[in-house]
Structure 1
Amino acid sequence: MTNHNRRTFIRRLILASCATLLPVSAFAVQGNELEEIRSYRNGSKAQLTLKLSQTPNYKVFTLKNPDRLVVDLHQTKNAYGFKSLNKLGLFKEVRWAMHHGDTLRLVFDLENHIAFSTTSVHKNTHNDELRIELTDSVVVQHKPVARKPEKRDILVVIDPGHGGKDPGATGKHGTHEKDVVLSIGRMLRQKLDRSHGFKVVMTRDKDVFIPLRERVIIAHKYKADVFVSVHADACDDRTVKGSSVYILSNKGATSVMARRLANRENNSDLIGGVSLNTKDNMLAKVLLDLSQTGTLQASTDLANTVISNLAKTEKILHKRVERAAFAVLKSPDIPSALVETAFISNPREEKKLRTKAFQNKIADALHDGIKRYCLESIPERNLIIS
C-alpha cells in the first residue's frame, strides 16, 4: 500500500469512527413546514402571514430592479400549494425554491408602490405565524366621479339705469336718460333672446323706480352669470362725448370723472327716498368686498370685451376700462359692468341717443361683447353657438 493510499484510508477510518460517536439527531433536518400564506390589506397597511408548524428560523430582505421581497425559512419544507393565495394588488407573482439544501426561499415580486416594513412571530396553539408588514405608498381611493358642469342657458341681467321719479341725466332738448337706456335695454334683450344659449332678466321693463340694492338682489335671485347696467353720461362740459365702460373699484376711482360719475349714480337712491346707510344683513352680504373672490377679474374681462366691441362703431371716451365705487356693481360673485353709452349732455350725442338706429347700434355692440365674453370665459357650461 502506498503512502498516499495509506493516508486516505486512515482519514476515512477516523471520519467513520467520529460518526459513530455523534447522535443521529445532529444530522437530521428539523421538520418545520410552511402550511399556508394569507394576505391582508387595509388602506395603506398590508400584511403577509406565513403559517408554520413550528417557530421559524427566518430571514427577510428586499431586492431592487425589480422590487422583490425575499423570505428565507431555514430547515423548512413547503407544504402549501399557493393555489388560494390572494395577491390583493400587493405583488404580481410568488416563486419558491429550496436554497442550500434545507432553506425554503420565497420570492414575492412586489408592485412598485409596496414596501417592506417589519416582521414579527406570533405563537398559536397549533402553529406559529410569521407576519410581514407592508406599506402601500399609493393608496387607491374611491374618488367621486367628477361630473361635467350642466349645460344650460347663460343668464344675463340687463339693468336699465334710473326710472320712475328718477329721470337720470337730462339733455339740452329734454331727453331723459331713463327713457333712452330702457329702449337700449329692450333691444339688447331682444338680440340675446334670439341668440341660442341665453336667458335674459331685466331689472325694470317699464318706467318705474328700482333702488340700487334691489337691482343687485334681483341679479342674485336669478343667479345671474352676467350683470350689465346701461346708462347715458352727462357732464358740465357739453363738448365731451364718447362711450365708456366701468367696473367696481374698492380702492378709489381711476379718474376724477369716474369718481364724479359714481357719486352721481349712487345718489339715485336719494331721489327715491332710500338711504344707502341702512343696510340689512342680506344687503351687507351682497356688498361683500370683491377682492375676496375672482369676480373682479371676471368683471374686467367682461368690460374689456364690451368696450372693444363699442370701439368698432363708436367713439370711445376711455380706451381702458375705468373703475369706481358703483353701488349697483357690488355683487361678490357676478361679473358686472356699467356701460355709459354716450353723453346725453352733448347736443349731438343727445340727438343720436334719441334715434332707434343709434340705440340699435349700441345694443348690437353690447350683445356681441357679452356673447364673446361668455364663449371665452365660461365655455364649459354654456349652450351658445358661436
Structure 2
Amino acid sequence: MKKYGWVILAAILIWLWPSFPHANAAGADLFLDGKRVEAPADARPEMVNGKVMVPLRVVGEQLGYQFKWEPQAYKISIQKNSTDMAMYVGRTSADVNGKTVSLDAPPVLRGNSTMVPLRFVGEQMGLKVDWNNKSKSVNLSQKTTTPQTDQQAESQKTSTQNTSSKQKTSATTTTTNAAEADKRTETVLSPSKQQNTEQSKANTLLVQDLTFEHDALKISLNKTATPKVFKMTEPDRIVVDLPGAALSSGFSQPFPVRGDGSRLLTNSDGTDGIQEIRFAPADGQNGGVRVVIALNQARDYELSTNSTGEITLQLRERSENPVVTPTHVEGRQIVVIDPGHGGKDPGAASVTGRREKEFTLAVALKVQQLLQNDPSFQVVMTRDEDTYPTLDERAQLANDQQASVFVSIHGNSMPASNNGKANGSETYYARQESLNLATTMHKHLVAATGFKDNNIKMANHLVTRKSQMPAVLLECGYLSNPSDEAAMFTEETQERIAQGIVDGLKEYLGTETVTTESLN
C-alpha cells in the first residue's frame, strides 16, 4: 500500500508543478523599433527546431538592404554600404564580407521568403532582438548606446566644453543628440573649420523635387548623381536609391511623415498599375534617400540622367513572354524548354517548404546552359526567371517557333494523407505522335534521378495537348517525398537531370548516338 501511496503522491506533485510556457513563434507578430512590420502570411516568424526564424527580406528591406535571389543555387545575397552577405537555403553557414559565419539553423524557404535565425539577424544587422513569449512577438530594435556610454559621453561633453572655454580653440564633442551636436560644433569651430563645414554642406547631394506624370518619375537634384535602381517582388515595386543624398527641407515640408517614417508623393486606386509612390531618408551611417514605386503588377523601366541633375525613370509595360522570331539556323533544331509554374503560380510545396517553380527553373536553366553552345540546337525558354506565362502562352510560343520538340519540367506531389510515400519519376504525353519522344526522354530521366520508375503515362495536360510538335511533361520526382525532395534540391541531382534531358533530346533528334550502356 505504501508503494502505491508514493506513486499517487508523485502524480499529484507532477500535476501541481508549474508548467513553463513553450516559445512557439508560429504566426508571431514582428516589430521593428516598436512599429509593426507586415510579413507575408506564409512567412511570419516561427520556431524551427527550437530556433526562432524570421523573414530576412522583410526585415532587411526596412533597414535599406538590397537583395538578390539566385534560384538555381538557392542563394540569397544581401548588400548595404560596405556590407556583403550571402547564404544558401539548407546550409548552416553564411559568408559575411568574405568570412564564414556559423548559423544556429539553416535558412529555409517559406513561400517566396527566406527564413533565417533571429540571432543572425541581430548580430549581422546590428539589431537588438527579443522574443516575447507572452505576446508571441519578435521585437527588433536598432541598437542604441548603453546608459554607461551615455554617462561617458556626458562626461566627455562637459570636459570638452570646459577645455573650449579655457583655450578658446576648436573642440570635438560627443553626444547622443545629433541636433545639439551640430549646434555646439558651429559655436566652437574656428573660422577655417566653419568654412569647411559650410563647404561640406554645399557639397551634399540634395533631392530638390520629385514628380510623377505620364508614367515617368522625375527626380531633381542639385548636382549630377547615379542612382541605384532595382526591382523587388511580393509585392512588386521599383526602388530608386540615392546614396549619400538628403531631402531638401523646402521640398519635403509639404509631405507629412507617415507612421513608418516615409512620405507619400502620390497614391492611386491601382487602375493605372500604380499603388503609391513613397520616399524617405535611408537608414545607415552614410544616409541617402530611397524612392519606392509600389506597383499593381510588374513593370519594366528605362532610366536616363542629364547634366543638370535630373533623373527620369520611365515605366514600360512588361512583356512576360515576348514572341521570338524563329531563327531556323541551318542545321539547328528548335527545342522549347518549359520550366513549370512560376511567378504567381508557385506550384507544389515540398516537405521543407520549398516551391516547385524554383526546382523547375533551376533544372531548365542548366539544360539551357548545356545546349546553348551546341551547334545542333536552338534553345527557346518559356521563362528564364520567376514569371508566369499562361499554359496557352507556353504552347503557343512553341507553335510560333515551329519547334521540333517541347519539354515541360515539373516536380510531382501527393496530399499529406499519402504520408510522403509516393515517390519516383514518370513521363506524360497527350498525343500518339509524342509516344516515341516520351519513351526516349523517360529512359534518360529515370537513369538521371535514380528514383523509382513509374513508367510512361498518357494524360491530357494542356501544354502537351496544344503543342503541335512532339511534347512531353517530365515529373522528375515527388516533392512530397522526403527522400526524393532532398535529392531534387541538390546541385548534383539537378545537373544529372539536366544532362539526362539533353541526352534524351540528342538521341530522339538524332544529333548524337547515346547507347544504353552509357546510362548505367
TM-score, structure 2 normalization: 0.34
Larger Rg: 1
Q: Identify which of structures 1 and 2 has the higher relative contact order when contacts are C-alpha pairs closer than 8 Å and 6+ apart.
A: 1
